[in-house]
Structure 1
Amino acid sequence: MDERRNKPPLLARRKLLTAGALAGLGAWLIKPNDRGANHTPYYEQLSAKLNQLALATPRLIIDKQLLNHNIDRLTHHVGSRFNYRIVAKSLPSTALLAHVMARANSHRLMVFHQPFLNEVARELPHADVLMGKPMPVQAAKNFYRIHHASTSTFNPSLQLQWLIDSPERLAAYAALADELHQPMRINIELDIGLHRGGVSHLDTLNALIERINAHPLLRLSGLMGYEPHIVKLPGSVHHWQQQAHQHYRAAMQRIAHYCNSETMETMTFNCGGSPTYQLYNQGHWAFNELAAGSCLVKPTDFDLPTLSDHRAACFIATPVLKKLHETRIPGINLGKLQALWDPNKAQSFFTYGGYWKAHPESPRGLSYNALYGRSTNQDLLNGSNSVQLNVDDWIFLRPTQSEFVFLQFGDLVVIDAEQESHFWPILSAHASAA
């Protein structure tokens, strides 16, 4: 057989060589660049503050100046067009809530957890509270039991609105009011298009209003319609906003059949949330108050176009426990190959604690290692050789949310560049034994 027949023609060989070269070039082009850097001056100053405070465990940090900036932005947008209700689950500390209440000039809170409600009633007795979700009737009973045993001046008959979402829940609360001889203000949750529960039919709303008005201990206090997720729905945000408002306005028109205009002016018609509150800067809207909380500390889930003028004000700070000048993967030691391909896998830093709902923020270029996995005890972060961290230095992360993450670190560390730092206790997530 002629061996020349088994050899590809010259043109074919050139094509193969060209394709191989292009593939190699493509691989080189997608090869990760060194993203590493050292702390910026801002994070160096935060590190110095933490060291001055003699801290050495993971802590949740709030920058008070940035917090104040965000409060001021919110009050600028809300202006006098709406009342502002502070969402307590996003700012779970009575000291933090008290600071926001004072600077925003609002005594209105939205509370989502019965133990938080008892603590708010005890520590912030001047607050006007709207529950942010329907509570099991036993939780309401527990609140009254604990509150009546306290010395707080908080008057739930005048300062607390329970949220009701169905005729069955209303019946349970009416029975509790009769059992305790306790007047109750009732706010009705609406489904205004997001289908997270609440009243979706006007006939049901009519029946609830009539039952409330017929009961001697119950008083209708308003409506609550939640719509912040419209910014994540497909299509036009304006379309979903208008649709939600139509639902809300129709419900208010039903209330107007039962209440005179003077009474309606005293009611709470709540809407909004951190992602959407700025959508109401203009126009005429049926509701009279907006709720928001997370935008004041701005975790990463709130890096949204609607909050572009807010700044990140909360961080997790955790010390470096161990530093390795390589990455070792147990069982399948691919660390060297990872680092060869990605210079950002060159070093390993083990942190004090971890696996939080958070993303590495500083030094720049740190990342988790999917092959190594995560740990709540000692989390592994990789970085390039450009990252000059040492053992006992601080790593900073940004939480994805505040409502759960804030509760994991004990007292909040409030850093103020102009004044001394403070420790603000968090709300207790557990019911009192009283």
Structure 2
Amino acid sequence: MDSKRRKLLLGGVALGAVATLPLLRPRALGQGGHSEYFQGLSKALHNAGFSGPTMVVDLARLKANADVLSGHLRGNYDYRIVAKSLPALGLLDTIAKQTGTEKIMVFHLPFLQQLVEARPIADILLGKPLPVAACKSFYGNLSYRGFDPTKQLQWLIDNPRRLQQYADLANSLGTTLRINIELDVGLHRGGVTDSQTLAKMLTIIQHEPKLELAGFMGYDAHAAKMPAILGGPEKAIESGLAIYSRRLEQAKQQLGNEFPRSPILNAAGSPTYQLYKSHVDSAPCTELAAGSCLVKPKDFDIPTLVDHTAAAFIASPVLKKLSQTQIPGIEGLTGAMRWLNPNRAQAFFISGGYWKATPESPEGLSINPIYGRSTNQEMLNASRDVALSEDDWIFLRPTQSESVFLQFGDIAVYDQGEIVDKWPVLRNS
């Protein structure tokens, strides 16, 4: 090919690439300001005098989600509230009243200590094994005031070594510890995996008078995301329940008359609790645990929770509005970047940021991947179609609740167009 033809060919390719660039550009997102719902939230926050990053919980949506959960359980399973996902006494009290349960699952020693003080009638199951030092600290720094840990508290144990540690502590304290054994039902995050290990643990319980078997727990969050090529969620649930049943039968045979008359057999979680409806007659478990589905963070937008509604949002005020987005050091490319992506046209700096959350309202807000993240003044971009001014509120949706809720101080409770209460979050230290 001669040089003239080569130049013509390359020129044609270049022109073609330039011609297709407009087709590759993303469309401008956003249709003005907030929807009617978020306009109501904004007005309520302004009227209540809020001025900084705030976690807002919609009380009506929270209660509606609790009703959805109760409707699925239909009395076939008891319900246990997961405190780490709803880390405020106001949240726990509301859900307990709405669902009619006093059963709570706790994952942190500070939460346990506060709940025993605040809700002495609670029935508490630890949701993860804690070092024996945590158990010792609990008994060394507790004013029970009506709470009886020998009847109302179960320590989750995952292996023989930790079980023996708890036995030694129980003997030194002169108190009975109720033990719930963690089972690996497919998640592979610890817990009993074979009959030999379970036999050792049951033998320890038989030989230690200060230990009492209370039941079993099998968590199966993996099931909801199991791909169809591997059998899907239903197969994962069935497999987990089969493991659960075998371990339970083994315990009944080994313990005989020493097996508890009314064992606590806990299972599920927010992603999977609805899958148990079709296993009422075969599932060995007596109760299901869930928490996140009641506020439904972004990560819980999954097929098994389509009838739950998002009930929690992060609100933050716009501190600064810039008519164009500029990146330090490459300011000369501002026009080109705006042309390539019209959703980078405007820049808004909010109070705080870098949360486990995604922009929710107004529609069209996004995080700039080049500028970087900030916990002080996060930059959000938007097209010219998004209408926001300084001091306006923007809303983000948390991707999870358990750690994000603890970052904002009191939760603002929204109901019927007003902020009706403030719920302090549980202390995590």
What TM-score do the two structures reach when normalised by structure 1?
A: 0.93
Aligned to 2:172: 179
The equivalent position to 2:85 in structure 1, one of 87, 90, 102, is 90
Q: 1:6 to 1:59 in 2, by over 3 A?
A: closer
For residue 28 of structure 1, what is the amino acid of its counterpart?
Answer: P
Q: How many Å separate the matches in 2 of 1:92 and 1:407? A: 7
Aligned to 1:33: 27
Tell me if the contact between 1:348 and 1:380 (Cα under 8 Å) persists in the aligned partners.
yes
The equivalent position to 1:197 in structure 2, one of 174, 190, 201, is 190
Q: 1:33 to 1:377 in 2, by over 3 A?
A: same
Tell me if the contact between 1:213 and 1:220 (Cα under 8 Å) persists in the aligned partners.
no
Q: How many Å separate the matches in 2 of 1:172 and 1:164? A: 10
For residue 266 of structure 2, what is the amino acid of its counterpart?
Answer: N
Q: How does 1:2-401 map to 2 (within 5 A)?
A: 6-8=3-5, 13=8, 19-20=13-14, 22-37=16-31, 38-147=33-142, 150=143, 152-234=145-227, 235=230, 236-259=232-255, 264-283=260-279, 284-333=282-331, 334-401=333-400
Q: Which runs of 5+ in 1 are unaligned?
A: none
- Give CA-to-partner distance per residue, 1:68-88, whole Å, 9 cap, x none: 111010000011111111100
- Give CA-to-partner distance per residue, 1:150-182, whole Å, 9 cap, x none: 252111110000011111101110111111111
Tell me if the contact between 1:87 and 1:291 (Cα under 8 Å) persists in the aligned partners.
yes
Q: How many Å separate the matches in 1 of 2:79 and 2:191? A: 22
Report the secondary structure of 2:329's partner residue. coil
Q: Displacement, 1:104?
A: 0.6
For residue 412 of structure 2, what is the amino acid of its counterpart?
Answer: V
Equivalent residue pairs, number: 422
For residue 278 of structure 1, what is the amino acid of its counterpart?
Answer: Q
- Give CA-to-partner distance per residue, 1:102-133, whole Å, 9 cap, x none: 10111110000000000000001111000000
Q: Displacement, 1:8?
A: 2.5
Q: Displacement, 1:31?
A: 0.5
For residue 416 of structure 1, what is the amino acid of its counterpart?
Answer: D
Q: 1:372 to 1:420 in 2, by over 3 A?
A: closer
Q: How many Å separate the matches in 2 of 1:418 and 1:383? A: 27
Q: How many Å separate the matches in 2 of 1:161 and 1:151? A: 15
Q: 1:151 to 1:261 in 2, by over 3 A?
A: closer
Q: How many Å separate the matches in 2 of 1:367 and 1:45? A: 22
Q: Which runs of 5+ in 2 are unaligned?
A: none
For residue 325 of structure 1, what is the amino acid of its counterpart?
Answer: S
Q: Displacement, 1:27?
A: 2.1
Q: How many Å separate the matches in 2 of 1:309 and 1:8? A: 63
For residue 4 of structure 2, what is the amino acid of its counterpart?
Answer: K
Q: How many Å separate the matches in 2 of 1:263 and 1:336? A: 73
For residue 26 of structure 1, what is the amino acid of its counterpart?
Answer: T
RMSD (Å) for aligned C-alpha atoms: 1.9
Q: Displacement, 1:238?
A: 2.0
Q: Displacement, 1:43?
A: 0.4
| Identical columns (%) | 47
For residue 182 of structure 2, what is the amino acid of its counterpart?
Answer: E
Report the secondary structure of 1:206's partner residue. helix
Q: How many Å separate the matches in 2 of 1:426 and 1:161? A: 24
* 1:421 to 2:426 alignment: no
For residue 388 of structure 2, what is the amino acid of its counterpart?
Answer: L
Tell me if the contact between 2:320 and 2:390 (Cα under 8 Å) persists in the aligned partners.
yes
- Give CA-to-partner distance per residue, 1:15-73, whole Å, 9 cap, x none: 76765554344322220111023100100000000011100010000001111111010
What TM-score do the two structures reach when normalised by structure 2?
A: 0.94
Q: How many Å separate the matches in 2 of 1:420 and 1:34? A: 34
Q: How many Å separate the matches in 1 of 2:144 and 2:5? A: 94
- Give CA-to-partner distance per residue, 1:305-347, whole Å, 9 cap, x none: 0000000000000000111001111122233322121111111
Q: 1:21 to 1:248 in 2, by over 3 A?
A: same
Report the secondary structure of 1:282's partner residue. helix
For residue 181 of structure 1, what is the amino acid of its counterpart?
Answer: G
Q: 1:72 to 1:262 in 2, by over 3 A?
A: farther
Tell me if the contact between 2:44 and 2:417 (Cα under 8 Å) persists in the aligned partners.
no
